[in-house]
Each structure stands twice: as C-alpha cells, then as structure tokens.
Structure 1
Amino acid sequence: MAFSEFELKKIEKALTKFLKIRRPPPEIRSQVDLGYRLSGQSLELFEIRPQWDDPSIIREHPFAKATYVSTQKHWKIFWLRADLKWHGYQPVLTVLTIEKFLEVVNTDEHGCFFG
C-alpha cells in the first residue's frame, strides 16, 4: 500500500528539514551530496558522488533505509554493511515516526550511517 498524499507531504517536510542540516555546502555539492528515494513503503537515503575515475558517471551510494510496517505502525531502521546487505540497526530497530528515524540517522551514535 502506498502512502497517502498527507503522509507523503509529512515525509517530504521531514526530509527537507533533515537535508537542510546534513547536506554539504552548495559549492561542493557537485562532488558530494545527499539524496533520498521513496519506493513503496521504504525510504532510502544515499550519498551522490561522481565516479572516481570518470567524473561524468554519477553514483548513488545508499547508507540508511527505513521501511514502514503498517500493521505494527512503526518504521524499521536498516543500515548498509560492507557486505552490501541491509541489516537492522541494532541500537534502535524501530521508531514510531519518520522524524525519529531521521534523528537516529543524524545522531549516528555508532558510526553506521556516516562512518
């Protein structure tokens, strides 16, 4: 089930606030930037960088994901490990709101999202 228009606006508002805090300064965004993708019930955060040996190729490197479980009314938090598989974020496996998910990612107490 897709999100309602109201829920999408709420998610976009929270993401705009998060990106305002975490995005690099405008003068270096061509070298490194942050973005997001909303697909079904999942939200994925990723880093945007040019490929090291061919700057004309732009790569997206995901680092955080939240999936909304509508039956339980919470978001499950995942991080992308070195094995390139999504793993539950053990310190905080679930949160009730998208704002709380973004707060967990921004705080990054264990260095899983931003290293």
Structure 2
Amino acid sequence: MDSFLRENLVTCLAVYISAVGGRESTIGQRAAGDWRFFRRLADPSVTFTIRKYEEVMLWFRANWPADAAWPENVPDPKSVDQYSLFQLTAEQGNAHVAEIDPYRGVNTINPRSVQA
C-alpha cells in the first residue's frame, strides 16, 4: 500500500504545482510541516505514516484550486466512500485495507476485522 499512497501524494503535488505554481519545498512545508517531505518520497526506503498521509491529503483537499480538477486516479478524501477505497486497495493487491473518512481522513484497518 505504501507505493499506492506515495503515488497519490506525488500525483497531487504535480497537479497542484501545475495549477498554482510554487516549489516542492514550499508545498512540503505547508502541507507536511517539512520542506523535504516530497523530496524524501523519491526514496522508497523512506517511510511515512498514515497520519502524515492523511495530513497532507487533507491539506491538498482544503487548498485545492477551484479551477483545477482533482486527479482521477487519486481517491478524493471528501468524496470516496469506504467500499470504493476498499476496492481500490484490493485491486492494488495490498495486504492492508484503508478507509477514508471525510472527517478523520485515512485509517488503516486490520484485514481480519473486515468482513466480506
């Protein structure tokens, strides 16, 4: 799932910069509180928490330009229901399941607790 979430972050960054401009480091500082955050994502050995993913994705959603479309391949934290994200993560072949709650963001769930 890490690569799926990492790709979502990088995609949002690219679309956001294309729409409003700015530098990767400035957006990293604003979204994650760390100007090196997005640069570190290029290294697959560097990890990040689901909490950080949630923080950054919710920042993007709150600051998304009105005239720019949300990336099609990235679950929108304000419009994705649990079933569709369960389906997305299952299609990616991930061992863990994630849900996006529009009020709390992204949470990982123990797959054993998810009933079919």
Q: Identify whether the pair has TM-score above 0.5, normalized to the shorter chain.
A: no
The structure richer in strand per residue is 1
The structure richer in helix per residue is 2
Alignment TM-score, normalising by the size of structure 2: 0.30
Alignment TM-score, normalising by the size of structure 1: 0.30
Higher RCO (C-alpha 8 Å, min separation 6): 2
